[in-house]
Chains A and B, each alone.
Chain A
Amino acid sequence: MKIALQNIHCNHEGYSRLIDLAAQTASLFLDDIEIDMRNVAWIDANMCAPLGAILYRAAREINSVRLTNIPPTVEAVLCKNGFLCNYGWPRKMDTYGSTIEYKRFEPKDDRYFADYIEKQMIGKGIPEMSPGLLKKFRESIYEIFSNAVIHSQTKQGIFSCGQYFYKKNRLDFSVVDLGDGIRRTILERRGLDLPAEEAINWALEGKNTTKAGPIPGGLGLKLLREFIVKNEGRIQIVSDSGYWELYNGKVTTKSFADPFPGTVVTIEINTADSKSYRLVSEVRPEDIF
């Protein structure tokens, strides 16, 4: 089967195109899938995470996946972040250190993931964030990863990729799972049948949690939201057929015609943020419990 891909920007339209790709490849088995990229003049590098997840899922159905006619500029970006290494291309040097490598992790790989973040963020010296911001940023990414592990029940792993834009002082990073999705998790664990975009909103509101066992939960995405608001960054969450975005303190929700086969969490960090992440009011150790 030959599928023509178009530009993939990190927005509703870009996700929508990837969802179309997921729908077209969903039922293929033992097929030859050619992704024709001649019309792809731009792909936001972090979108390699959801693209890679969809292609990984297709390849697990014993399909042969080939990417063809990739324009040289796009090819250069996708070779630098290691995405095309999965499809037969050699890796290219990332001279400016602006890529955060495309990787797939098993759910048990939390330490490997942490090591990857340390190497990609600290080792390469990108970006020039204040120590307080860097700590919050790292922990936010870890929250997304552990949230994906705990809630998605994914068996096919977790995918991540990012890109740093020096001139814009922005860092985009996506984490993707091929798990149950937020809508289904809320339905199964809480009995709430919500439209997918409202389900995402529910998961980010107040004290809502789908946890029911002996370990409490429900904080991870709220902490992420608080940090992004303070940082004046952006969060996009795509799960099932829902799209949820927080930018400039405003939440926008939309839906897609078909579901994404899991959940994508993308954060955009304002790396020029010089705010102090030290807290005004102190908590004493003896007041914790």
Chain B
Amino acid sequence: MNRQIILMVFEVVGSGICVSSDDGQKVHDQIAAALREGEKVKLSFLNIESLTSAFLNAAVGQLYGAFSEETIKGSLSVADMEQEDLVLLKRVVETAKEYFSDPDRFKKAREEALEERDDD
């Protein structure tokens, strides 16, 4: 409990080009599994050359549909990101918070996350 897992984005995706939502989903699934176990996660973007909002929305943004802001803030951190990429991630996070501020979307995302967990 409460170890810090270092998740290398490059290793999960297998490339420094992080473009697709599908690759973002792989990163998301790893983070979500660790957070559900109460672990802390450090997401390292070492050697990542290109990022899109689609990738980050899937990898990080959708976490706000399944976990509270408090949990994410307390358990997830990022490292090895260029300043421009940090700005992009910040915007993705702000967009996600806004997106899930709609109670219907949040409820639906929560239900889907629980279903996914039951399927594991």
A residues whose Cβ falls under 8 Å from a Cβ of B: 108, 110-111, 113-114, 118, 132, 135-136, 138-139, 142-143, 145-147, 149-150, 207, 209, 211-220, 223, 277-279, 282-289
A218 to B95, CA, bound (A): 8
B112 within 8 A of A: yes
* A50–chain B nearest beta-carbon distance, Å: 22
If the complex has contacts A207-B98, A279-B83, are A220 and B54 also in contact, measured as CB distance less than 8 A?
Answer: yes
Residues 51-69 of chain B: 1 if any A CB is under 8 Å from the residue's CB, otherwise 0?
A: 1111101100110111001
User: What residues of A have a CB within 8 angstroms of the CB of B66 in the complex?
Assistant: 214
A217 to B24, CA, bound (A): 13
* B44–chain A nearest beta-carbon distance, Å: 11
B72 within 8 A of A: yes
Is the CB–CB distance between A146 and B20 below 8 Å?
yes
* A175–chain B nearest beta-carbon distance, Å: 13
Cβ-closest chain A residue relative to B75 = A289
B34 within 8 A of A: no
If the complex has contacts A149-B21, A215-B57, A218-B95, are A139 and B77 also in contact, measured as CB distance less than 8 A?
Answer: no
A284 to B77, CA, bound (A): 11
User: What residues of A have a CB within 8 angstroms of the CB of B22 in the complex?
Assistant: 108, 110
User: What residues of B have a CB within 8 angstroms of the CB of A216 in the complex?
Assistant: 57, 61-62, 64-65, 92, 95-96, 99-100
A-B residue pairs, 6 tightest by C-beta: A146-B54, A216-B99, A219-B53, A110-B20, A114-B17, A214-B109
Cβ-closest chain B residue relative to A114 = B17
Chosen A-B contacts, 23 in total, with CB atoms closer than 8 Å, are A135-B84, A138-B50, A139-B51, A142-B17, A142-B19, A146-B52, A146-B54, A211-B99, A213-B108, A214-B108, A214-B112, A216-B64, A216-B95, A219-B53, A220-B53, A220-B54, A223-B88, A283-B83, A283-B90, A288-B89, A288-B90, A288-B93, A289-B69
User: What residues of A have a CB within 8 angstroms of the CB of B64 in the complex?
Assistant: 216
Is the CB–CB distance between B100 and A146 below 8 Å?
no
- Interchain pairs with CB closer than 8 A, number: 123
Q: Which bucket holds chain B's interface residue count?
A: 35 or more
User: What residues of B have a CB within 8 angstroms of the CB of A287 in the complex?
Assistant: 90
If the complex has contacts A142-B50, A283-B87, are A289 and B93 also in contact, measured as CB distance less than 8 A?
Answer: yes
If the complex has contacts A219-B91, A277-B84, are A111 and B17 also in contact, measured as CB distance less than 8 A?
Answer: yes
B8 within 8 A of A: no
B86 within 8 A of A: yes
User: What residues of A have a CB within 8 angstroms of the CB of B113 in the complex?
Assistant: 214
Residue from A111, A143, A288 within 8 A of B53 (CB atoms):
A143
**Apart from the given pairs A136-B84, A207-B98, A213-B112, 14 other A-B contacts in the complex at a CB distance below 8 Å:** A139-B51, A146-B19, A214-B62, A215-B61, A215-B62, A216-B64, A216-B96, A278-B83, A282-B83, A283-B83, A285-B79, A286-B77, A288-B78, A289-B72
Residue from A111, A142, A219, A288 within 8 A of B57 (CB atoms):
A219
A288 to B92, CA, bound (A): 10
Q: Which residues of B from 14 to 30 have beta carbons under 8 Å from A?
A: 15, 17, 19-25
A111 to B113, CA, bound (A): 28
Residue of A138, A139, A145, A278 with most chain B CB atoms under a 10 A cut-off: A139
User: What residues of B have a CB within 8 angstroms of the CB of A143 in the complex?
Assistant: 52-54
Cβ-closest chain B residue relative to A282 = B83
Residue from B51, B58, B89, B93 within 8 A of A215 (CB atoms):
B58
A213 to B19, CA, bound (A): 19
A37 to B90, CA, bound (A): 50
Residue from B20, B24, B69, B83 within 8 A of A149 (CB atoms):
B20
Is the CB–CB distance between B73 and A289 below 8 Å?
yes
A38 to B79, CA, bound (A): 58
If the complex has contacts A139-B51, A282-B83, are A146 and B95 also in contact, measured as CB distance less than 8 A?
Answer: no
User: What residues of B have a CB within 8 angstroms of the CB of A142 in the complex?
Assistant: 17, 19, 50, 52
